[in-house]
Each structure stands twice: as structure tokens, then as C-alpha cells.
Amino acid sequence: MSHRIVFLDRDTIAPPVKVRRPDFAHTWTEYPRTAADELAGRLEGASIVITNKVALREQVLAALPTLKLVAVAATGTDVVDVGWCRDHGVAVSNIRGYAVNTVPEHTFALIFALRRNLFAYREAVRRGRWQESGQFCFFDYPIRDLAGSRLGIVGKGVLGQRVAEIGRALGMRIMFAARKGSSGIGPVYTPWDEVLETSDVITLHSPLMPSTRNMIAMPEFRAMKRRPLLINTARGGLVDEADLAAALREGLIAGAGFDVLTAEPPVEGNPLPGLLDLPNFILTPHVAWASDEAMQTLADQLIDNIENFVSGQPSNLVT
């Protein structure tokens, strides 16, 4: 049997990354990106579909009688109607473990930049403030060590664990937050309210689900007694963006570093791009995952998943 493979959004992986062709009989078609109204025509006759961010919902999937596998080029599978696939015998695979270095490193890049006010000092130097100071240094913005500070981690998966490992190496005190609203917690977890109240840095490494959507909003910001940094390299939607903007403007938190938004690229009306005038807010374009090394690992694992499925030994299935 020859499989028809369609890659819907090849441009979501950087051009230098090599995506090898599977080692079985197939035809391969790839598109830089795909709009919703282009799906039906492009997927006709496909048995394997590769998607990173193109949504595949029931209406589209139900019109693909030859579909056998949806290979998601990411860890999160929220772009696919996984329930429909499970009910109709369509396998869904994802990518695992590829970002264990790149996302934690990006997380700490944001933490270091904000904790030491690097962007504020860089801008001040650009404006000539150093010359104006008349001495070898100036102290316009506070600088805080990470050693001895409290790091609250929301999410205890592989990325949360790696962030904790780096934090411990820096001398930080680590807390894994218990699930919001949970009464029974294990010994490795700190109550949610305590993490909010006592953290100097809070970093999010949770999936986006109904139970985690907007889990941090104004009530949580007002509970953050130590005015922590808030870092999100996980998913847009975990934090209420309007409330984040208000919290920064009101000084309820010391700063925020975000790599993700509810809609990407940002749509008109999103308040976060409007915060870029603030020295204590950093917004990066969903690139925490995108080191060269991580993207090549992702691409290799993507094709491994497809080859393993066709050979009858599927890997990384979520259905």
C-alpha cells in the first residue's frame, strides 16, 4: 500500500531543519501553511496528515474516509479533535521530550532578563544615561539575585522537572504547585494558595485544558504577596491577558515574560503587545521550543512516529 502524506504547515518548522522522507512507499505533499477553507481540497485521499497548528475538527475529519493517522508536529494535541479520532479509529501521535532543554533555557532567559532588569538597563544606556550619571555605574533599576529566592512551578511534567533542576542549581527554593482548588495534595506539592503568596518567580508548564484556562486572573494576582515575576512558556490562555495587563500596570507583580498568547500572531485588541513599552514585560513570538537542536529532534521523531505506525509498532499515540 502506498500512503498519501500531507504536511499542512511546513513553515512552522524552520527551513534549515531537515524533515526526512519516510522509508516506505508513499507520496508526499507539503504546504507552507493551510487555511481552513483549503483543508478539504488538500486532504482528499490522504491517509496520513501532519499538522502543527492547523486545526482538524470533526467536520473536516469526517470527510476523510481514507485517513489513518494524524501526526501532530508538537506535544500539545488541542488542534485535533482527539475524541472524534478515538471514536472512529483514527490514530493520533504527538512529539515528546524534544523540548527538555530549549523551553527551560528560554524560561530562565526570561527570568534572568527580568530579575536583573537587563532590558531596562540596555535602553537606559542607549539613551545616554550612563554618560549622564557621571560615574562608573548607575542604579536606576533594582537587580535581584535568584539564589535564595522561591520558585513556584505550575506543572510537574518533564519541563517542570527540568526547570526545577536548573533552579536548584542556582540556589532557588523549589515549590511545585498543587492543582488549583485541590484539597488533597501529595508530599511533593505545595498548596496552590501558598505558591501564589510566597513565590518570587512563578513559571507555568501546564497544558491548556478547560480546568487550566485562565487559572491565573485578577484574584490570583491580588494574592501574590511578594509581587513575583510571572513566566509563561506553556500555552496562551492559562492567564487572563486583560488581567495580566492590569496587574502589570498596577504593580501587582514585578514583571512578566510571555512566549505564548491566546491567538498567535496577536489579534487586534490583545492587550499584551501594548505592554511592550514597559521595561518589566517581555513578549517573544512562541519560540521557546525552537532551538535548532530541538526542532531537528522534533522533525526526526515526527517521521519516526509515522514509520512506526505504518510498520505496526506505533509510538507516542494519544488515541
Could you report the per-residue pLDDT of 209-245, keeping only the tens digit for each? 899 999 999 999 999 999 999 999 999 999 999 999 9
pLDDT of residue 1: 77
> Among residues 38, 44, 264, 293, which one is catalytic?
264
pLDDT of residue 187: 80
For the packed helices 158-169 and 102-115, what is the interaxial angle rounded to 10 degrees? 50
Read off the pLDDT of each residue in 179-197 and give the average, rounded to a whole number: 87
> Among residues 173, 235, 249, 268, which one is catalytic?
235
Establish whether 30 is a catalytic residue.
Answer: no
Q: Could you report the per-residue pLDDT of 281-319, keeping only the tens digit for each?
A: 999 999 999 999 999 999 999 999 999 999 999 999 998
pLDDT of residue 9: 98
Burial letters for 66-85: b for 16+ Cβ neighbours within 10 Å, e otherwise? ebbbbbbbbbebebbbbebb
Establish whether 286 is a catalytic residue.
Answer: yes
Cα angle, residue 171 at apex, residues 170 and 174 outer, rounded to 5°: 100
pLDDT bucket at 144, cuts 50 / 70 / 90 = very high
- Sequence-ordered alpha helix ranges (H) in 57-191: 58-61, 82-87, 102-115, 118-126, 129-133, 158-169
> Among residues 96, 286, 293, 307, which one is catalytic?
286
The CATH topology of domain 102-283 is Rossmann fold (3.40.50)
Comparing 123-127, 206-210, 271-275, the range with the smallest average pLDDT is 206-210
pLDDT bucket at 121, cuts 50 / 70 / 90 = very high
Read off the pLDDT of each residue in 237-259 and give the average, rounded to a whole number: 98
| 39 and 59 Cβ atoms separated by less than 8 Å | no
pLDDT of residue 76: 86
pLDDT of residue 188: 87
- Asked if pLDDT for residue 184 goes beyond 70, the answer is no
Q: Could you report the per-residue pLDDT of 15-45, keeping only the tens digit for each?
A: 999 999 999 999 999 999 999 999 999 999 9
- Asked if pLDDT for residue 183 goes beyond 80, the answer is no
Determine if residue 313 is left, alpha or beta; phi over 0 gives left, psi from -120 to 50 gives alpha, anything else beta: beta
Q: What is the DSSP letter of 11?
A: G
Establish whether 235 is a catalytic residue.
Answer: yes
pLDDT bucket at 186, cuts 50 / 70 / 90 = confident
Where are the domain boundaries for CATH 3.40.50.720 in the chain? 3-98+292-310, 102-283
- The architecture (CATH level 2) of 3-98+292-310 comes to 3-Layer(aba) Sandwich (3.40)
- Asked if pLDDT for residue 81 goes beyond 70, the answer is yes
Comparing 76-80, 107-111, 114-118, 182-186, the range with the smallest average pLDDT is 182-186
pLDDT of residue 319: 86
Predicted structure pTM score: 0.90
| 70 and 51 Cβ atoms separated by less than 8 Å | yes
Q: What is the mean pLDDT of the chain?
A: 96
Widest pairwise Cα distance in the chain = 76
Classify the C-alpha dihedral 99-101-103-106 as positive or negative.
negative
